[in-house]
Amino acid sequence: MTQVEKETTLYLGPQHPGITGNMMIELKVTGDTVQRAKTHVGYLHRGFEKLMEERLWMQCFPIVCRICVPEPDPNEENLARAIEEIEGREVPERAQYIRVMVLELSRIASYFLWMGGQAGSMGLYTMPQWTVGDRDYILDLFEELTGGRVYHMYIWAGGVRRDLPDGFAGRVRRVLDYLEERLTDYDRLFFQNALFLKRSQGVGVIDKDKAMEWGVVGPPLRGCGIAHDVRKDEPYEVYDKLDFEIITHEGGDIYARAMVRRREIEQSISIIRQVLDKMPGGPVHNPGPNPLKWKLPAGEAYVRTESARGEFGYYVVSDGSLKPRRIHVRGPAYVHGVSLLEKMLVGANIADVSVIMNSLGTCPPEIER
């Protein structure tokens, strides 16, 4: 009997370098090769969807941002847009531009956090130091705009909560310029790093044909060379007025996904600059009824947003009462982090488990909600 045939169970997590949040993976390994993987989630279930059924519509807004900690804004935007769709409320154009700016800033912030995690899971610890520091410049902008650094609670039904502070656009541009310049440093340290290339190219491959079948979205899908991006496919807010192309990369491996994200940082910077150039004046909020007596007309809506992790969807049902009948959140991490991951880990090296997981952009709080 060879050692290879002896199967060992290895419990990875719930705390481990692969993710932001808690989630455990039960690995059956022979030697250092994973034979089977089983994900165990449930450490972060807070029951948000159910909680919202007991809250007034307005009270749902401070809740949804918690569904995804590193990138809360798509949640706020989705809930707001679903509600607006059901009640047919117009959103002022300026508010739509501001929303796009917020969404793209949060995408950059989220990618910076991913960069740190991806590099950290490979043992390159300078990167997290840098990315977390640089991400803070975006959080500073959020703090100035919304009053909160992580949980913004800024986008709400009818528009946004406050207009831009004086001189805000200039400060956004300065941060963008700085981050753009920093990308060269990141390239040298990480994206062109021989170690990174070695561990990412040809590792964690998603089959192009299987990708669609498995319901893969976001950078993992675009990393398979498939041009799918909600911002283009079903433009929301003012994305149809902005100039950008869907970024894809062939290969389906960790490297391809990394390159998609790396280039999308530049793309987001460009989008925000366009937003700042084109942003019209005017109001930023179209007021609705008194929140205490706000009854949404009976109806339902499904809206989706392209988040940093992929397609984010909200299914909102109103029975015409003061509170939601049902709000279902469709997060991309469930598909990637649970179903897909279990398949991808088969045959992987134990050391690559965290790397693969990180490359999918898994966010457990959003899986469990």
Partner 1 sequence: MKNIKGVFLPFSALKFLGKKPHTVRYPLEKKKTAERYRGFHYNDIEECIGCGTCATICQNEAIDMIKIDGIEPKKGDSGLRPRVDNGRCCWCGLCVEMCPTGSLSLTDQYLQTTPDPESFLLIPGVDHPEYGEHKSFVKDDEIRLLDLQRVPMRELDGAERVKSFAEVVLGYMQEEARREASRCVDCAICVTACPDHMHIPEYIAAIADADDELALKYIYDNNPLPELCGKVCTRQCETVCAISHLGDPIAIRWLKRYATEQFPDPAVILNPKIAEPNGKKVGIVGGGPAGLSAGFYLALRGFDVTVYEALPKAGGMTFAGIPKYRFPEDSLDKQISYMEKIGVKIKTNTRIGKDISFEELEKRHDALFLGVGFHVPYRLGIIGEDLKNSIQAVDFLREINLGNKVDVGDKVVVIGGGNVAIDAARVARRLGAEVTILYRRRVEDMPADWEEIEGAEHEGVKIVPQGIPLEIIGKDGKVAAIKYGMAEMVPDPKGGRPRPKLIEGDEHTMEVTSVIGAIGQEADYSFLPERIKEKLEIERGRIKVNEYKQTTIDYIFAGGDTVNRTMDAISAIADGVKAVEGIERFLLGDKNK
List interacting residues with partner 1 (CB under 8 A).
55-56, 58-63, 126, 133, 140, 143-148, 151, 153, 161-163, 165, 185, 187-190, 192-195, 197, 283-285, 287, 289-293
Q: Write down the least CB distance from residue 189 to partner 1, Å.
A: 5
Give backbone dihedrals phi and psi of 366, rounded to 5 degrees, phi first.
Answer: -85, -25
The Cα 140–Cα 146 span in angstroms is 10
Q: Write down the least CB distance from residue 347 to partner 1, Å.
A: 25
User: The tokens 């700016």 sit on which residue?
Assistant: 101
Q: Which is nearer to partner 1, 50 or 162 (CB)?
A: 162
Q: Write down the least CB distance from residue 278 to partner 1, Å.
A: 22
Q: Which is nearer to partner 1, 55 or 241 (CB)?
A: 55
Q: Which is nearer to partner 1, 128 or 332 (CB)?
A: 128
Q: Give the Å distances, CA to CA, from 224 to 117, 188, 304, 363.
A: 21, 25, 21, 21
CB-count exposure of residue 337 (10 Å: 0-12, 13-18, 19+): buried
The Cα 345–Cα 325 span in angstroms is 38
Q: Write down the least CB distance from residue 350 to partner 1, Å.
A: 24
> Does residue 301 sit in helix, strand or coil?
strand
Q: Write down the least CB distance from residue 315 to partner 1, Å.
A: 21
Q: Give the Å distances, CA to CA, from 294 to 59, 202, 286, 369.
A: 11, 53, 14, 25
Q: Which is nearer to partner 1, 188 or 278 (CB)?
A: 188
Q: Write down the least CB distance from residue 233 to partner 1, Å.
A: 32
Q: Residues with Cβ < 8 Å from 68, sequence gap 6 or more?
A: 74, 75, 307, 309, 312, 331, 333, 363, 365, 366
Q: Write down the least CB distance from residue 340 to partner 1, Å.
A: 29
The Cα 106–Cα 142 span in angstroms is 9
Is the peptide bond preceding residue 14 cis, with omega within 30 degrees of 0?
yes
Q: Which is nearer to partner 1, 4 or 197 (CB)?
A: 197
Q: Write down the least CB distance from residue 235 to partner 1, Å.
A: 26
Ranges of beta strands (E only) in the chain are 8-12, 24-30, 33-40, 155-156, 159-160, 299-307, 310-318, 326-330
Q: Which is nearer to partner 1, 130 or 236 (CB)?
A: 130
User: The tokens 């600059």 sit on which residue?
Assistant: 273
Q: Which is nearer to partner 1, 136 or 300 (CB)?
A: 136
DSSP 298: S
Report whether 104 contacts 268 (CB < 8 A).
yes
Q: Write down the least CB distance from residue 365 to partner 1, Å.
A: 15
In order, the DSSP letters of 89-119 are: ----HHHHHHHHHHHHHHHHHHHHHHHHHHH
Q: Which is nearer to partner 1, 190 or 312 (CB)?
A: 190
Q: Which is nearer to partner 1, 146 or 267 (CB)?
A: 146
